Structure 1
C-alpha cells in the first residue's frame, strides 16, 4: 500500500465540513532551498482535476522543494481559514484561550453551518473551522496585540485595523504565499517560534488530522471568496513519517469546468495525490 493511500481514503469518505467551511474566509519568504524540482506528476494531476494553482511540497530531510508552478507558489493570496493556525497561536500566547478545552458558547443565533450551532471547545472550533469563534478571538485580542504578536511570531502580510480586525483574513488586502505558509509551519514544528512549549503541544493536538504507523498528518484548510467570481482554496500542513517531515501548501482556484460541489474536498485531495506521486 502506498504511504498516503489510507489518508486519501479518509478524505474521500469524510464529511467536508470536518476540515473546511464554505464562504470562509507577499513575497517569497526566505526558504533557503538548494534545489527546486518541477514535478511533472503534479502538473499531470492539475490537468486532470480541472483546477488551476499549485501544490508546494518541501522535504525537510532532503532539503528539496517540489511544485508544478513555482511562480504561483510565490504569489500572495488571502489566507482564509489557514490563518486559524496563527490566530490559535496568538490566542494561546495572549491568554485569550487557556487550552484546547476552552469553551466557546453559542448564543443561539443561526450560523452559516449547523456544525457551529452548539457550544464548542477550542479544539472543536479549530477542527470545524468555526469562523464566529475565531472572529470572537480576534476581537478580544484587539488590533495592537494582534499586530504585535503576528510580528513577534513572523506571520507576514496581514493588513487590518479596528474596522477589519475580525475579517482581515477573509477579505481585504492581506496576502500570504505558499512559500511563506511553509516557512511558518517549519518554524512551528521545529520549535523556532518564540512561543511556549504548551502552545506548540496544543497546536499539534488541534491540527492533527490522521495518525497511524506510517505517518502523523496535520493541517488546515481555507476557502476565501473575495468577490462573486473568485474562489481561493487552501490546504497547508505537514506529515511526519519515520524517515522525513514533509511540509505542504496547496493553493487552487476552480476552472469553469470544475464542479463546485467538490471544492470542499479537492484542496486536500490534490495535496494527498501530489504526495502519493512523490512516493511511487
Structure 2
C-alpha cells in the first residue's frame, strides 16, 4: 500500500514542477464544528486529502494560528534523538528513579517506544537535555520545523511553555514530509518513527500520530496530529481544541472521538 501512496505522491510532485506551485484547495466543513460542539470543546479539525490536494476544516483561521506544540513535539524530538544517536533504537530503556510523577504510567521503566506512546514528559526532557541547544537548533532548521524558541534554561520545557508555536497547517506539512520520505533523515529513523507512532491497526485502516496537552489563555489545549491510511490512501490530520477543566478521564477520549467522527463525515472509516 505504501508503494502506491509514494508513487501517487511523486506524480503529484511532477505535476507541481511542470506547472508551477499547485495551490491546495480549502473546503469548509461546518459539520466538523457540530462534532466539536457536541463534545463541548472549541477549536478546529483539519484534514488533508493528498490525492485531491484538499484541506477540510471547520475553521481555517484557527488552523493557521500558531499554538504551543505540547507533546506533539515528541515527534521531532524523537527524530533528532535517533539521528544524533542520543537514542539508539526504540528498545532503549528509560530507568525510573522511583520519584513520584504526574502520571502513574510514567512511574516504571519504559522503552523509548512506550515512553513515546504514554507521552512520558520526564523521559523526553532527559532526551532534550542530552541533545542540547546547539544540536536541537541545527536539526530543527534542517527539518524545517518552525517556531521553536529556547535556550540553555528552557531546553527541556520549551514545547510545554513559553513562546514556541506551531499551527495545524504546519503540523500537517511536517507529517506529510515525514511520511513521504522528504525529510533529510535516515531510513532507519523513518521506520522507527513509523513503528512507534501507530495507535490503531485494523483490517480497514491504520491510525498513527501523537497527542499533546498544553495551556492556552488559561484553558486546557489539546492536540491530536497524525495520519490515517485506508484504501491505499493516506490522509493527514491535525486537531486542536480547548476546554475548561479538562481531565484525564475525558480529554483523551474527546480528542479521539472528534477526529474519528470527522473521518466518518468524510467516509474514511465506518
1:219 aligned onto 2:209 = yes
For the Cα contact (< 8 Å) 2:220–2:244, is it kept in 1? Answer: no
Comparing 91-100 and 242-251, the one that deviates more = 242-251
| 1:261 Cα offset (Å) | 4.4
For the Cα contact (< 8 Å) 2:91–2:113, is it kept in 1? Answer: yes
For the Cα contact (< 8 Å) 1:94–1:141, is it kept in 2? Answer: yes
Q: Pick one of 251, 256, 262 that aligns with 2:250.
A: 262
Runs of 4+ in 1 over 2 A off after TM superposition: 31-34, 258-261
Ranges in structure 1 where 5+ consecutive residues have no aligned partner: 1-30
1:123 is aligned to 113
For the Cα contact (< 8 Å) 1:209–1:218, is it kept in 2? Answer: yes
For the Cα contact (< 8 Å) 1:80–1:222, is it kept in 2? Answer: yes
Paired residues in the alignment total 248
1:273 aligned onto 2:261 = yes
Note the 1:233-272 alignment, pairs <5 A.
233-254=222-243, 261-272=249-260
RMSD, matched Cα = 1.7
SS of structure 1 residue aligned to 2:154 = coil
Q: Distance in 1 between matches of 2:39 and 2:118?
A: 25
The change in CA–CA distance for 1:252 and 1:261 in structure 2 (over 3 A counts) is: same
SS of structure 2 residue aligned to 1:225 = strand
For the Cα contact (< 8 Å) 2:175–2:236, is it kept in 1? Answer: yes
1:99 is aligned to 89
Higher relative contact order (CA 8 A, sep 6+): 1
Q: Distance in 2 between matches of 1:85 and 1:222?
A: 11
For the Cα contact (< 8 Å) 2:219–2:244, is it kept in 1? Answer: no
| 1:165 Cα offset (Å) | 0.2
Ranges in structure 2 where 5+ consecutive residues have no aligned partner: 1-20
TM-score, normalization by structure 1: 0.85
